[in-house]
Chain A
Amino acid sequence: MKDTPLSNCERDFLLKAIEEKKRLDGRQTYDYRKIKITFGTDYGCCFVDLGQTRVMAQVSCELVAPKESRPNEGIMFFNLELSPMASPAFEQGRQSELSVKLNRQLERCLRNSKCIDTESLCVVSGEKVWQIRVDVHTLNNDGNLMDAASVAAISALCHFRRPDVGIQGEEVTVYSPEERDPIPLSIYHMPISVSFAFFQQGTYLLVDPCEREERVMDGLLMIAMNKHREICSIQSSGGIMLLKEQVMRCSKIASVKVSEITELINKALLNDKTARKAGGRCGFAESMPQERITALKMDQTSVEMKDVSETVSSIVQTAEAPPQTVPSPLVPVPGVGHIGEGLRNTWGLEEEEEEEEEEEEEDDGESSGGDSVAEVTKMEKEQHKDDKSRKVDVVEILDSDEEEEEVVILYPETTKKAKNTGTGQKGAATSRKQQKK
């Protein structure tokens, strides 16, 4: 299925807005969107939210025979999949150009930079080594998949624990996680990629482009760095000519951003570690992420299962409180269209509108074919609750019941970002960040 085409007026508007240094969501030129890092139940599972872009990385390991040329080094395998979930433009199974490009960039960023000590992955030289496999899945595409993927991959690698191995003479025993604690990988440094989008032949640049900005950009520069200011890889695509000063400037910006992101990753890892030490596992309820608990209406069930009721009530107690309900929830929107019947909409206030249509012929093109009452909905309770809980999340991190999810937010969301003037917003964001620290 094809993606929605970009209209000419959108393109013109975006370019004009960029010339005036304004972005669609009110960010500054060098601002990142809100980054949220959460870890899953298993070791090595990491979700990263970069604004609306969402990716998941999972690390797994296996004992295999090493390569002939390198008998005492482990093997790293990277795979990035563009799932059709992420965007209607991605097709299942087909290797598109973007997919090849992202895979290649992820490999260069993580493998060639030697961020993982592969020699420590060797078990028996020449015979058995660990193969570490990193799978990154894109869940939602709102621009800048590369940055989100690199953050997810390196966080998952830092979070991962491999089984312990004991060697006695000729015998090799692999201990399961219950027998001996699994051990983390040895990671030298954390390379993180930062993307810069260029417009108007390199005149304007933006950090962390969102999906619409990516569509109108001329070229993209991706710099992968670590916090010690070492560049791991640079890639420029789109065929734009960049000046030396521009590249130097971008690398300076990248080093600032990378150190912030690295700190965020470390904080998230630390939170996860303390939470795991504090509480044990409680099975089923723990593996359900917070946003997705929806079934809280227990009073109307007609199923009679006496022994299940205790577990059910315990799950309900540990789950989050049901969202607040407005006294009279009202939903807008009449029935939308008669599917396949091709009839005129005849519901609602049609009779009055027909008279009004003859009287007033509005020139701005607004039609009065709608037929609804002007009432606002609370049907989107989940989303509303999510928004609310996100604002409160910063306070609740260490007190939450859910052990497997540690949420660290870089820039708290504001509902009206475009309202504030540019400097005001940036000042507010940094002051909020300092408060959290």
Chain B
Amino acid sequence: MFSIVKERVGQILLPGDEFCCGPQDTLPLTDSGRPERLVAGPGLRRSGDRLLVSRSGVLRHKEPNKFWIESQQRRYVPAKGETVIGIVTAKSGDVFKVDYGGSEQASLSYLAFEGATKRNRPNVQVGDLVFAQFVVANKDMEPELVCIDGSGRANGMGVFGAAGLLIKVSLGLVRRLLVPHSDLRADLEQLFPCELVVGMNGRIWVRAASVQQTLILANLLQSCDTMTAPQRQQLFRRIQLGALQD
């Protein structure tokens, strides 16, 4: 099965496609005798002796044996450890209720900020933006957020957003921005200095030197979602020329 899955890497698969164990999977007697294990990632599901595709997208492979389906969507499903941008909607008792774009609101405790104690409460108002990460995120329990990491430091998380614009984009764009050496970020750096906070729930906060530049950035990010790299670079170049003229 490993070989038939491997030959479809890079192709678009649809839900319902399956990979069966066929006669070619019997081990020849001359082999070392160690069966190859195939690790099925998001979008792939095992059912008996078949591997089913449950999402539409492109099949990806990572050495040595991981396979998964990359798909595009806008609706965010919380996962533990992911950092998101949330909007505080209510203060009740010892927790804040935070909206992150999911089906229910997450809770964020008062004490989950750096340097917060029972007496020293964080200065968070309803309507503020917080950058936090999930500690509890499964389908059975209410999601919980914290603004500190394992060692108790803020590490970039917390309340933010004095002046800037919050926009909503697809999850694919967000992941492309967060990749270690992302082309998109490199292109953006050449435009003009700006501040970006990228939440994995599809929300991006941008701030640039002036209102006009912030608006340009926001519109750019929303429109380059579905562009190929050359188209995007062409667009950025046009903006650069326009910015020089200003």
With contacts A333-B73, A339-B77, A340-B138 taken as known, whether A348 is within 8 angstroms of B62 at the C-beta atoms is: yes
Partner of B82, one of A10, A340, A345, A380: A345
Interface string of B78-105 (1 = CB under 8 A from A): 1111110001010000000001010000
With contacts A342-B137, A367-B83, A372-B176 taken as known, whether A333 is within 8 angstroms of B171 at the C-beta atoms is: yes
Interface membership of A326, Cβ < 8 A = yes
| B70 touching A339, Cβ below 8 Å | no
Q: Closest CB-CB distance, A296 to chain B, in whole Å?
A: 14
Interface membership of A16, Cβ < 8 A = yes
Interface string of A300-340 (1 = CB under 8 A from B): 00000000000000000000000000101111111111111
| B81 touching A7, Cβ below 8 Å | no
Interface membership of A214, Cβ < 8 A = no
| B214 touching A13, Cβ below 8 Å | yes
| B128 touching A8, Cβ below 8 Å | yes
| B138 touching A342, Cβ below 8 Å | yes
With contacts A335-B41, A365-B160 taken as known, whether A4 is within 8 angstroms of B60 at the C-beta atoms is: no
Stretch at the interface among B18-26, B27-35, B113-121, B235-243: B235-243
Query: What is the size, in residues, of chain A's interface with B at 8 Å between Cβ atoms?
Result: 71
Partner of B184, one of A362, A374, A418: A374
| B71 touching A336, Cβ below 8 Å | yes
Stretch at the interface among A18-26, A202-210, A267-275, A404-412: A18-26
Q: Which residues of chain A have C-beta atoms less than 8 A from B182's C-beta?
A: 374
Interface string of A1-42 (1 = CB under 8 A from B): 000111111111100110010101110000000000000000
Interface string of A368-403 (1 = CB under 8 A from B): 111111111111100110000000000000000000
Interface membership of B148, Cβ < 8 A = no
| B99 touching A369, Cβ below 8 Å | no
With contacts A24-B215, A348-B62, A417-B219 taken as known, whether A336 is within 8 angstroms of B76 at the C-beta atoms is: yes
Interface membership of A344, Cβ < 8 A = yes
The winner among A22, A373, A374, A420 for most chain B CB atoms within 10 A is A374
Q: Closest CB-CB distance, A359 to chain B, in whole Å?
A: 11
Partner of B129, one of A9, A17, A331, A362: A9
| A344 touching B166, Cβ below 8 Å | no
Q: Closest CB-CB distance, B175 to chain A, in whole Å?
A: 4
Interface membership of B161, Cβ < 8 A = yes
Interface membership of B110, Cβ < 8 A = no
Interface membership of B106, Cβ < 8 A = no
Residue of A nearest to B90 (CB): A5
Stretch at the interface among A90-98, A173-181, A349-357: A349-357
Q: Which residues of chain A have C-beta atoms less than 8 A from B76's C-beta?
A: 336-337
Q: Closest CB-CB distance, A295 to chain B, in whole Å?
A: 12
Q: Closest CB-CB distance, B126 to chain A, in whole Å?
A: 8
| A418 touching B216, Cβ below 8 Å | yes
| A4 touching B238, Cβ below 8 Å | no
Complex Cα spacing A5 to B129, Å: 11
| A331 touching B70, Cβ below 8 Å | yes
Interface membership of B133, Cβ < 8 A = yes
| A415 touching B235, Cβ below 8 Å | yes
Residue of B nearest to A353 (CB): B180
Interface membership of B183, Cβ < 8 A = yes
Interface membership of A421, Cβ < 8 A = yes
Name the 4 nearest CB pairs between A and B, nearest first.
A335-B42, A340-B139, A342-B138, A370-B178
Could you write out 8 A-B pairs with CB less than 8 Å apart?
A5-B87, A9-B166, A9-B205, A365-B157, A367-B156, A370-B178, A374-B182, A379-B72
Residue numbers of B with Cβ under 8 A of A are 10, 12, 41-43, 55, 57-58, 60, 62, 66, 68-73, 76-83, 87, 89, 99, 101, 125, 127-129, 131, 133, 136-140, 155-157, 160-166, 170-184, 195-198, 200, 205, 211-212, 214-216, 218-220, 223, 225-229, 232, 235, 238-239, 242, 246
